[in-house]
A and B are shown apart, each in its own frame.
Chain A
């Protein structure tokens, strides 16, 4: 057989541990299987090892508790409960299997057929919807009224009625599998449709099918017991679990014990099936929330942490040109001073180490670097918005008299929105999709400015005009999905302005937008900064944006500040090889005014936090790297201008930025 396109584009299966693996790895799953299989085996072999038959009456020991002679006690006719329960197990469980078997035998072929042909799909969608709307229990009862209590037949009918629900679950998956490249490729290869379905689609659905099968098995057992309980199952004296619970309930005043083994065995069996299905489906873990919603306890070590941070920051403080004097120097009002900030994954690596920044009132600081350098994490930390599992390990984030790194939730809430606002990089997704723009703006304005609804409405309209929206009434009445990305970013900015903040943190505010819209939003930001005298931290990887808007720049690489300074100094006379590389790779920022003949590409990628080199973290990608770069590099004052640079070979590399334009030596694709 020749190599077919199918085999080429077919994805490698098993990204998650296989079903068998998942079962073997979970002791609980083994216990469940042991219970289910053991019960059936014990039941089938019951005549060999039970000394009391399930129908043997002994009226001298009626309704007894557990004893050596009758381990689970006796019922109202003196019959051994253990014997009756075990005897009933195999018929119950084997008949319960009929339900999932029938449901799957009907649903799977229909689903595969519907997933392949559009006509079948539209018909089967209707049919399944009708079946789904049938009152299952009542139809089953009607069925029993007609054909009697023939359990296998009843359970088969039940399986048939479950077609609606099963189709709904399986069809979505089958349809998306059919649209996958490897299945379409199989069709191009001339594989017959049904064969393609069975060979390529069915195996990928097997997990869902197995999980649903186990769940339905549990449902089948419950259904049988329920029917027996209301007297519509196998007739006495044949033992059934539901029937035994029913008679136990009649004698609850005389002997409540009878409820325990009868209901217990039924409950344990259904629990075993459901737990097994849960484990097979890979558990029911949910993703953690984006932000921590739990009240942050005033941490006992907050004080230690601050003092430790201040002690630790002493040697490095020379890096921050503004704070050469005392570390605990008071921070002016409306001034943000981040000092030696360390953020890490709880019980994991650090993501940001020793970041120091300063944003004076009315100034715009650009925070630059590739993705994965810790820019966003740093900006989240300034508002206490770190995701659960991340925390500030040391360092301080001074905002006036407050340290935002250690402030409690209450203090942070007074700052958020009122003094510091935030714009995210996903404008549309940053708005609540369920409420209109007006609702969201009015709610924020009322809360942040303490005004009445009518006034808030007026302010909302004014804010939207301020951010350059022309058709204000229409936008006010819109839901976020009804407006464009650029419009959404304007709305997000107006929301950020709702509390008249003095500092705006903008996390890549233009990244998700079209180029023309980017320019508009940047114009808007520039205007707002000039008008309102706000200071801004602008997180971006676009040096053109930095040149356009910022006063100062901090370049981050792998969780560290590698270079700071004024925009003019950093962009015109970069001293760190990484800054040089970024400039050479930027289509807008031309180095030294020369025509960019070609753009550089920086070979390799930002190392993961756990894999940072111990010396200079840029060592593996730097074309100027040498032996001395392997030892830790401190942040030292720039050669020219205010600011700092973290490079051992700064003197050797000075002025060599154009060398980045040469084709990359390693790893690059030039």
Chain B
């Protein structure tokens, strides 16, 4: 077990290095100049050059990368080219917003998706066709469009919720909840459809297994067969699809945060990309990869714990 964890952690580290190196190479081969970004179009070439030299921009990229890694290891992610703010502090401030979005989005989509998948698999027939077709359509709908439609219904027409904006939890918990409802609903709709599909397929497969008949022959109640035995049997692929959805949610937060004006990581990413704030982009690639790597690691450990065949091995 320890060997396994060490192996996977090593692999996670390798993935982090690859991702950030890719971002680094991209940034350095792009021909953009941090001096121009930081000092604006008004700066003279001499000023830009001086700025770049101070930054070490003309060193080979590998030297700069090593320097960057050394900084990161010490907890420094650098400062923004645009306004000089500390990137690590800024990300730390934004992370809770995006995390809340992804976590609540995952919870809502799990609840809805698993339930829909179970109903489709167990009931079959018309119910199955309706659920499957609905899931197929929801999967195809672009999240930002769904988001705007939800805003139209709940904010413009019904006036139940704020259209955009964010209130921190510490300021007003109730307003915090209200500001997250529509964003969470928006991302949950698509990912619930994905989880519903996986649940339906895995549940239906488990229900064809011989032990289901044996359980029934022993008089096991239907609800116990479905929610304990069949769901447990289908749990591993469902879990994998939840992990994928979480990762997708985190990546998709860019669009959701822009749409709902939420001050999260995604919004920062959009701004940083738009203004070519390269150190910021670099730092966000690191954070995003870290999220993927940690989720994948958690999934693997959970799978190992949940699969009797792997646990015994």
Q: Is the CB of B270 within 8 A of A267?
A: no
Chain A residues with CB under 8 Å of B11's CB are 129
Q: Which residue of B lies closest to A295 (CB)?
A: B222
Closest approach, in angstroms, between the C-beta of B262 and any C-beta of chain A?
A: 13
Q: Which residue of B lies closest to A387 (CB)?
A: B213
> Which A residues, 375 to 404, have Cβ-Cβ distances below 8 Å to chain B?
380, 383, 385, 388
Main secondary structure of the interface of A (DSSP, over half): helix
Q: How large is the interface on A (under 10, 10 to 19, 20 to 34, 35 or more residues)?
A: 35 or more
Q: A284 vs B288: C-alpha distance in the bound complex, in angstroms?
A: 33
> Which B residues, 256 to 300, have Cβ-Cβ distances below 8 Å to chain A?
258-259, 269-270, 272-274, 276-278, 281-282, 284-285, 288-289, 291-293, 296
Q: Which of A142, A231, A287 meets B208, CB within 8 Å?
A: A287
Q: Is the CB of B217 within 8 A of A416?
A: yes
Question: For the complex, is A290 an interface residue (Cβ under 8 Å from B)?
Answer: yes
Q: Which residue of B lies closest to A262 (CB)?
A: B145
Q: Which of A231, A242, A274, A414 meets B136, CB within 8 Å?
A: A274
Closest approach, in angstroms, between the C-beta of A474 and any C-beta of chain B?
A: 13
Chain B residues with CB under 8 Å of A256's CB are 152, 156
Contact flags A467-502 to B (C-beta < 8 A → 1, else 0): 000000000000101100000000010011011000
Q: Is the CB of B204 within 8 A of A130?
A: no
Chain B residues with CB under 8 Å of A435's CB are 229, 232
Question: For the complex, is B54 an interface residue (Cβ under 8 Å from A)?
Answer: no
Question: For the complex, is B70 an interface residue (Cβ under 8 Å from A)?
Answer: no
Question: For the complex, is A433 an interface residue (Cβ under 8 Å from B)?
Answer: yes
Q: Is the CB of A290 within 8 A of B212?
A: yes
> Which A residues, 264 to 301, have Cβ-Cβ distances below 8 Å to chain B?
266-267, 270-271, 273-275, 278, 284, 286-291, 293-295
Q: A136 vs B248: C-alpha distance in the bound complex, in angstroms?
A: 9
Closest approach, in angstroms, between the C-beta of B212 and any C-beta of chain A?
A: 5
Question: For the complex, is B42 an interface residue (Cβ under 8 Å from A)?
Answer: no
Q: Is the CB of B208 within 8 A of A433?
A: no
Chain B residues with CB under 8 Å of A417's CB are 217-220
Contact flags B217-231 to A (C-beta < 8 A → 1, else 0): 111111001100100
> Which B residues, 53 to 99, have Cβ-Cβ distances below 8 Å to chain A?
none
Question: For the complex, is B4 an interface residue (Cβ under 8 Å from A)?
Answer: no
> Which B residues, 118 to 176, have Cβ-Cβ distances below 8 Å to chain A?
121-124, 128, 132, 136-137, 139-145, 148-149, 151-152, 156, 163
A284-B132, A430-B214 known; A139 vs B226 contact (CB < 8 Å): no
Q: A602 vs B88: C-alpha distance in the bound complex, in angstroms?
A: 81
Q: Which of A136, A293, A429, A499 meets B210, CB within 8 Å?
A: A429
A145-B276, A231-B270, A479-B308 known; A448 vs B291 contact (CB < 8 Å): no
A133-B292, A146-B26, A248-B148 known; A447 vs B211 contact (CB < 8 Å): no
Q: A293 vs B119: C-alpha distance in the bound complex, in angstroms?
A: 11
Q: Is the CB of A230 within 8 A of B258?
A: yes
Q: Is the CB of A288 within 8 A of B124?
A: yes
Chain B residues with CB under 8 Å of A465's CB are none
Question: For the complex, is B205 an interface residue (Cβ under 8 Å from A)?
Answer: yes
Contact flags A133-145 to B (C-beta < 8 A → 1, else 0): 1111111011111
Q: A136 vs B30: C-alpha distance in the bound complex, in angstroms?
A: 19
Chain A residues with CB under 8 Å of B204's CB are 286-287, 289
Q: Is the CB of B26 within 8 A of A287?
A: no
Q: A416 vs B222: C-alpha distance in the bound complex, in angstroms?
A: 13
Q: Which residue of A lies closest to B273 (CB)?
A: A145
Q: Which of B14-22, B44-52, B104-112, B181-189 interfaces with chain A?
A: B14-22
Q: Which residue of A lies closest to B139 (CB)?
A: A274
Q: Which of A232, A266, A432, A498 meets B273, CB within 8 Å?
A: A232
Q: Which of A130, A287, A430, A505 meets B205, CB within 8 Å?
A: A287
A135-B291, A225-B142 known; A432 vs B211 contact (CB < 8 Å): yes
Q: Is the CB of B142 within 8 A of A134?
A: no
Q: Which of A253, A414, A479, A492 meets B214, CB within 8 Å?
A: A492
Q: Which residue of B lies closest to A444 (CB)?
A: B218
Contact flags A525-546 to B (C-beta < 8 A → 1, else 0): 0000000000000000000000
The residue among B132, B137, B210, B269 with the most chain A CB atoms within 10 A of its own CB is B210
Contact flags A221-238 to B (C-beta < 8 A → 1, else 0): 010011001111000000
Closest approach, in angstroms, between the C-beta of A73 and any C-beta of chain B?
A: 16
Q: Is the CB of A263 within 8 A of B142?
A: yes
Q: Which residue of A lies closest to B210 (CB)?
A: A429
Q: Is the CB of A134 within 8 A of B214?
A: no
Chain B residues with CB under 8 Å of A495's CB are 214, 218
Chain B residues with CB under 8 Å of A413's CB are 219, 221
A259-B145, A286-B201 known; A499 vs B15 contact (CB < 8 Å): no
Chain A residues with CB under 8 Å of B12's CB are 133
A232-B274, A422-B217 known; A130 vs B18 contact (CB < 8 Å): yes
A141-B281, A226-B142, A434-B232 known; A383 vs B217 contact (CB < 8 Å): yes
Q: Which residue of B lies closest to A271 (CB)?
A: B140
Q: Is the CB of A293 within 8 A of B225?
A: yes
Q: List 21 A-B contacts (CB under 8 A).
A: A130-B14, A130-B18, A134-B15, A135-B289, A136-B251, A145-B273, A232-B270, A267-B142, A284-B132, A284-B197, A289-B207, A290-B209, A291-B212, A294-B122, A385-B216, A413-B221, A416-B217, A426-B210, A429-B211, A431-B214, A482-B312
A-B complex: 7 closest residue pairs judged by Cβ atoms = A146-B30, A422-B217, A417-B219, A137-B251, A289-B207, A416-B219, A286-B204
Known: A138-B285, A278-B136. 5 other contacts (CB 8 A): A146-B26, A231-B270, A267-B142, A274-B139, A288-B208
